[in-house]
Amino acid sequence: MSQDRSEKRRLHWEKTRNLTILVLVIWFIFSFVVHWFAKGLNEMSFIGFPFGYYLAVQGSLIIFVLLIFYQNWRQDKIDDESGLGE
């Protein structure tokens, strides 16, 4: 019984850790990488704005909000799979 519980905890932590790493990588890309290459991206246009500017100003904010919802939704599924949800 105890071994089954520790296995569930290990799997829960592994999935949670992988989710956190994925979210942090996406966050890093849209926080730093997009801004580093914004000048080069400005050669393209998106709805009348330079593409690099649009990604840096609007795109990053949209991605951050979507990341919050995605992480919450996915973590709830992980918790439910492990029997930790309500």
Confidence of residue 66 (pLDDT cuts 50, 70, 90): very high
- 46: three-class secondary structure by DSSP: strand
Its pTM stands at 0.77
Kindly report which listed range (11-20, 59-68, 77-86) carries the lowest average pLDDT score.
77-86
Contact assessment for residue 12 and residue 83, using Cβ atoms and an 8 Å cutoff? no
